[in-house]
Structure 1
Amino acid sequence: MAKQQNVFAFIDGDKKTRKEQARAVRALGLEAQRQLDESQPKKDFNAGFPKRRWSSGGQPRRHSGRGASILHDGGVKVAGHTAATAYPFCAGPNLGASGPPIGEDLYGGGLFCADPWDLYRRGIISGMAMLLFGTVGTGKSSLSKSWTTRLVQFGKKLAVASDLKGEWTEVIHRLKGKVIQIGPGLPTRLNPLEEGVRPSIDRMGNPLSDEGWAMMVRTRRLSILTTIVKILTGQDDLTPAENNALQEGVEGAIAIAERAGRMMIIPDVIEALKVAEKESPRKISDACEDLVMSLERLHTGDVGGMFDGLSTVTFESDVPAVSIDTAALRGATQTGRRVASACCGTWIEAMVTNPDGGQRLVVYEEGWDAVTSRADLERMVENWKLARDYGIFNILILHKVSDLNMAGDQGSQMAAMAKSLLADADIKVIYRQDAAALRATTEELELNDKERQMLKTLPKGTGLWRLGQKTFHVSNDLTDEEEPLFDTDQRLRASGDTGDDDAFVTVGDHRFTDWAAPGAGKDVA
């Protein structure tokens, strides 16, 4: 295209004269532009291409709608119910086939598979914790056992901190794991002051030094002893004198254990406190006396003989599963059960919270009881926050959302800690809820009307999975061999390996559940 021509002129005179001169200048400019266009032929951009031939309707004109090659659809906004009616055969999103199969996605997504570590890697969840809700008889226990068992087949490890009913004993035996049964009259002892498994690196990623390891062990021992004293005395916190006395007791117990050439035990702390009672100022001496009376309950009280000596069992980090069966404690006092739960939980977590130990699932059964204990609640909150550092995934099993309110009065620190468990759990599975619990469930989990109505009538073994902002309607499918193994409605069977391995298939040196064995895909619905 020719360059536009500009005409410059000086215009002077009155108003009328200036207008006439301006018109003349514009006319000159247009004439100069015309002459320039005629002197430079126009470029034919269609040269070399076949001549366009239009239909009988002629060349498309603006707004005619003819000859259009691309249609842009702006979409139509409709309600979800209307869209579901118009497109009834559309399926929801699918998580893919990474991880063990759990069952069928009833929203039409096909097989539902889930691996929490893979979900975290893909950014679907940001917290390594799960809350499982369901009333009695809805199948929540079967889900927890089937999913964790299948994850073990995928290379993960399992730990059950305190099995109050003994429901996991046979499951652990079937996985060729280790069950530690503890209770009054049983020969098993656990030493809550054991060092645990030493990691190879510290929190900064540097090689862990001997001094750093000694400090970690000392801190852990002071923590469990403080927890035990709080439970036994009913205090929310220790006084400065008691804290000082307990530190002197731990330092003295370390020396006693070194002279004896063994691991520190609770009686060493008691002996060191008695020595400090005689040598310390009166205020600390009185605190030592009170601590001695409290800790002696572990030696002679209702939990005597369980935590007052060297451990009679060892933790084997290479076993696929381990659990502590505390069913024998059901007849003990509430204080005794809480002390036992704190000691068992601390012992097993000292073993599994090692980044070098691989990926491990930690299951907390009967969450309604755990949240009422400050020691258990604080330990769970810590594990929730540090799960990614430890390489663990936590599973807390509750009957209903309102069970978390049992932690304490509204506005209290205990209630706030319980609520943090709910907020930090990015996987929430809800099985059928009764009418009384439905309102609290809807409000706390922000369910919509459809999900609320669904929770009233969910069949056994079917639940809603909330993964971050995604919701799935999933049925937990069990094989014929798995159903009797995971059935908690039957009376507890005797613990131990019965020799019945029908639920597993041996291929070479590996053992699989019947759905995971090579060539057994037909068993998966």
Structure 2
Amino acid sequence: MARSINRLLADFGHDLPTRPSPEQPKPAREFTSAPSWRGKPAVGAGWVASRPAVKRYQMTSDQAGVFWPFLTASPLPPTGAAMGTDMSNGATFYVDPHGWVLNDSIPVTNPNIFVFGKPGRGKSAWVKAFLNRMFAFGYQALILGDPKDEYELMCRHFGVEPFAIGPGMPTRLNPLDPGPLATNWGHLDRDEQERRSAVIFGRWLVLLRSLIGSQSVGEGKVAVGPTEEQVLKAVLHELTHANTDSRELRPIVIPQVWHQLHSPSDHLIAELRYPDRHTFLDDTRLLRDAVAQLISGVFAGIFDAPTTVAIDWTAPIQSLSLSRLMPLGDDAVGMALMCLNSWGTAMRQVSGRRRINVRDEVWRQLRLGTGAVSSFDADLRLSRSHGDIEIANAHKPSDYLGAGHAGSQAQQIAKDLLHLGDIKVLFGQDAEVADDLEQLLDLGPIARDIVTAWAMGGKGRALIAVGPRLHKVALTLHPDLEQPLTDTNQKLHT
């Protein structure tokens, strides 16, 4: 029987190679192919065979934001008044001066706000919107002098009638009113009486020194030196009986100061160490005449009688109108602002609520001399301890340089005032003001260009400086509730 090839080779110890067994099929994949970075190769799908060349740009960091905005979260907490849109990130911008002072992470040490801007750029609208929105947090607003009646509509919106001050008006304000510090004087111990007396007499001396020193003698101002100040201090103590009667602190008015200088008592002459009455009258002639101008000049019947204003301190806003004094000149308005500031300081502790004091046209007061500047300087420095927010409106930073001659003490104090407000709201300005922004406010070229270019592109645009931090903010007003109250062009519409 014939053998097969396989058997024949096997008999001789050889085996033919066998066919390999088929491999097991691999499990099916969910995705058969990875997507390409170029996209799906199809008509109209933008598929390219190679990457396009990358275009390179060279620019500074402030220019890069124009092409690729650096959107970052606002570093400020969302507390206080919502004042518009932060253009750097589109978020709502909140203003909370007291909250910023209490927050150590925010570089703000005082709650004062300086507002600058060209007329018609939105300064008044911003201030009114800020007041209206802070009322919800329990704040009160006191307009210490409204020369143009810009806050009249807002007051009447809240059911408050502004107090009109001027010649022939029935309103009287006594700038020497001791205010609530004289309440229950007879029940205070001696130490507390001395403490309050120092506050009251200090305020009165600052006011009288400012009013007297603001009057002109030739090309200069009436000098109020240490001798004149000692005379005024002795007169005030004698009129109030502060040194002889601990039962009460008698209220006084400016005409009494003049009468005491004109007809001094023997006790006053001896206390001031004058040899006789004739010498006293000769040495105090200029001082006496300056005080006489306060009661017989343009202010006759305004600040020379007891206060007749009964302010409702439960109302959200109160305003003292000075528009009737505008025809009398800038000096008259400036001196009236000083009297109102002194009176407002005395009334500070009446309500116990947090207060926002608005000071409009402050340049009129600052140009009256060193005493007027020092008075405003004291209010700004004490705002934090009093719990107040001071808002000062001006057209441009150089307005503060009009306080005196170049290099004078008044001008130096006025320049330092700009550093007593860590919060500055800068509305649009012409290019001619650019140097003031950079030199007086320590702003760099970027901030300067924002104020002179971007902020001039629309009303309500402002650069808000919170310490060294800068924010481009566009004010937002409610068209029905706020827009009519903030419009300062009503007379143009009619």
Q: Work out whether the TM-score is over 0.5.
A: yes
Indicate which of 249, 253, 258 corresponds to 2:239. 253
Q: SS of 1:331's equivalent?
A: helix
Separation of aligned partners in 1, 2:123 and 2:366: 19
What amino acid does structure 2 have at the position aligned with 1:351?
M
State the Cα distance separating 1:493 from its structure 2 match: 11
Change (3 A) 1:233 1:250: farther
State the Cα distance separating 1:86 from its structure 2 match: 7.8
The answer for the alignment partner of 1:145 in structure 2 is: 128
Change (3 A) 1:292 1:445: closer
Greater shift, 293-302 or 430-439, is seen at 293-302
State the Cα distance separating 1:189 from its structure 2 match: 0.6
2:113–2:390 contact (8 Å) kept in structure 1: yes
Separation of aligned partners in 2, 1:159 and 1:456: 31
The answer for the alignment partner of 1:115 in structure 2 is: 96
Indicate which of 87, 104, 109 corresponds to 1:126. 109
The aligned runs of 1:473-484 (5 Å cut-off) are: 473-481=472-480, 482-484=482-484
Greater shift, 461-470 or 402-411, is seen at 402-411
Q: Deviations over 1:456-508 (max 9, x none)?
A: 332111111110121111111111121121111222999xxxxxxxxxxxxxx
State the Cα distance separating 1:105 from its structure 2 match: 0.9
The answer for the alignment partner of 2:318 in structure 1 is: 322
What amino acid does structure 2 have at the position aligned with 1:251?
H
Q: Deviations over 1:192-245 (max 9, x none)?
A: 111112299xxxxx9972333234323322332222222235536424443343
Separation of aligned partners in 2, 1:207 and 1:159: 33
1:402–1:440 contact (8 Å) kept in structure 2: yes
Change (3 A) 1:443 1:233: closer
Separation of aligned partners in 2, 1:253 and 1:85: 67
Change (3 A) 1:433 1:199: farther
Where structure 1 has 5 or more consecutive residues not aligned to the other structure, the ranges are 1-76, 201-205, 495-525
Aligned length: 412
Q: SS of 1:361's equivalent?
A: strand
2:175–2:339 contact (8 Å) kept in structure 1: yes
Change (3 A) 1:145 1:86: closer
1:370 aligns with 2:365: yes
TM-score (structure 2 length as normaliser): 0.75
The answer for the alignment partner of 1:358 in structure 2 is: 353
The answer for the alignment partner of 1:163 in structure 2 is: 146
Q: SS of 1:298's equivalent?
A: helix
Change (3 A) 1:262 1:405: closer
State the Cα distance separating 1:333 from its structure 2 match: 4.0
Q: SS of 1:252's equivalent?
A: helix
TM-score (structure 1 length as normaliser): 0.71
Separation of aligned partners in 1, 2:405 and 2:469: 32
2:141–2:355 contact (8 Å) kept in structure 1: yes
1:410 aligns with 2:406: yes
Change (3 A) 1:82 1:247: closer
State the Cα distance separating 1:147 from its structure 2 match: 0.8
Separation of aligned partners in 2, 1:215 and 1:452: 44
Indicate which of 170, 184, 193 corresponds to 2:167. 184
Change (3 A) 1:367 1:264: closer
| CA RMSD of superposed structures (Å) | 3.2
State the Cα distance separating 1:176 from its structure 2 match: 4.0
Q: SS of 1:465's equivalent?
A: strand
Q: SS of 2:281's equivalent?
A: helix
2:363–2:399 contact (8 Å) kept in structure 1: yes
Q: SS of 1:264's equivalent?
A: coil
1:220 aligns with 2:203: yes
Separation of aligned partners in 1, 2:191 and 2:140: 24
Q: Deviations over 1:141-165 (max 9, x none)?
A: 1101111221122211111211111
1:371–1:377 contact (8 Å) kept in structure 2: yes
Indicate which of 319, 335, 339 corresponds to 2:335. 339
State the Cα distance separating 1:298 from its structure 2 match: 2.9
Q: SS of 2:298's equivalent?
A: coil
Where structure 2 has 5 or more consecutive residues not aligned to the other structure, the ranges are 1-57, 184-188, 270-275
Separation of aligned partners in 1, 2:493 and 2:309: 23
Separation of aligned partners in 2, 1:315 and 1:404: 31
The answer for the alignment partner of 1:503 in structure 2 is: none
Separation of aligned partners in 2, 1:433 and 1:261: 50
2:241–2:250 contact (8 Å) kept in structure 1: no
1:104–1:477 contact (8 Å) kept in structure 2: yes
State the Cα distance separating 1:261 from its structure 2 match: 10
State the Cα distance separating 1:290 from its structure 2 match: 3.6
Separation of aligned partners in 2, 1:160 and 1:85: 41
The aligned runs of 1:56-71 (5 Å cut-off) are: none
What amino acid does structure 2 have at the position aligned with 1:247?
K
Q: SS of 2:80's equivalent?
A: coil
The aligned runs of 1:63-102 (5 Å cut-off) are: 79-81=60-62, 84=65, 87-88=68-69, 90-91=71-72, 93-102=74-83
The answer for the alignment partner of 1:488 in structure 2 is: 488
Separation of aligned partners in 1, 2:256 and 2:403: 34
Q: SS of 1:153's equivalent?
A: helix
4+ residue runs of structure 1 moved beyond 6 angstroms?
Answer: 258-262
1:92–1:109 contact (8 Å) kept in structure 2: no
1:242 aligns with 2:242: no
